[in-house]
Structure 1
């Protein structure tokens, strides 16, 4: 069984007209998943105590204080707060926590969190890149500290480097963070020499205009054996679909089939290493058709792996 965890409040995070990270993204993803036989679960609200696993209280408080009553508040050139943003972000964080509980508790084999805003750019005390809370890193810390796991791996295949996840897990030796991303590209981090405080970060830059075949070679030669060596007890996926050839914000040339292949291979590894336990959370993807097709292919492979 595969869980789909989401909440209508994730649609209430409003961005300015023309902004790439918009409610239509999640609407398209949910529509694409409508006919799939998923266990549908309502995301809870993450509490301050939950969020303090990765963010200091003063950062949470600052976000709350800047939530506008009616209009929009701009945090930086890309990142905005609207009246519904904090509930949306808390639902996203709550979704990954619920997913970890369900997967580690044996209720489901794996889970996909269909949420927004995304999370992998949010640093310890800094919102950026459309992101407010570091959902994937939060899931990892929760699995380690609340559920008592010894090792968790995060694999991020969004086209932009997951600088926030790297920042939040840099000094966490129990977490292996693997990120493939286009370089050069915003945010500019993710160089191979960035290896974490305990040699626990693996960055895999991909050049602009490289293809899905290039990506497959990198994962086959660099990622899969690293995961086998680490022996994670849970694999968390930061599932961005903006490496697609049609995405307007980057220049990688992956196809929907490439996302399907990567998901299937990571699920095979999870079956080999950790009983198939996978938690996936939605990150980027800004061409609506490519996003919805990629997300459906991704979740179809999660379903196949859960049989």
Structure 2
């Protein structure tokens, strides 16, 4: 169903069962999949592909031009997967260069005012809470969750199953499976709640704990750490954790200094990682 007030290009490809609400604008060169719903006042710009069964709320703009000083003559695309929910005033921009795409996976939730800049690659089941912002070329792994008003610097990577605290300023890569504190933007331990919800086994979590200790608390050089990790964890989630440190170009977020023991109850994940002792100085890993 298409509302009479909607402005629809004759060159847009819209599934017969898609619902286009009042005052929506759908430009030429767009695709809207089966079962999609544009609630009202949604703009779908040229170069946008919206996967099936997705819902887009009021004021959202999909496929806007990249926010760069020199606008490209032939920008790339925006490809959005299936079953996504994009709440009010979300903005997702096309890639800079023709042939490239900004991508959003399946089953994601972008809350009010979330922003995905040009050339971002966002995985499946990702949650961007109110006001979360991704700079250009950011990569977000599956099932990551960014807290409200978080901002991610261009070219940063955030790994799978990461939980980023609210109001975090992310300027370096965050490895998978960890929890970061919004006040300091530093790692405070494994995202144990997220790991359990994702179905990781007890042994997998124990392997991650061992890899975590080795990276942040063992005292080896960066190259020595990578070599030991490859030897001890050739496969599995711990291997995925270790492999993350072989890529990137911005360095890696540090572990937070352990607060006084009396304050550990505020962030129990720190205590759960290593109940015996904690390094007094966080270890910095250069990219």
TM-score bin (small chain): under 0.3
Structure having greater relative contact order (Cα 8 Å, sep ≥ 6): 1
What's the TM-score, normalizing by structure 2?
0.24
Question: Higher helix proportion, which one?
Answer: 1
What's the TM-score, normalizing by structure 1?
0.23
Question: Higher strand proportion, which one?
Answer: 2
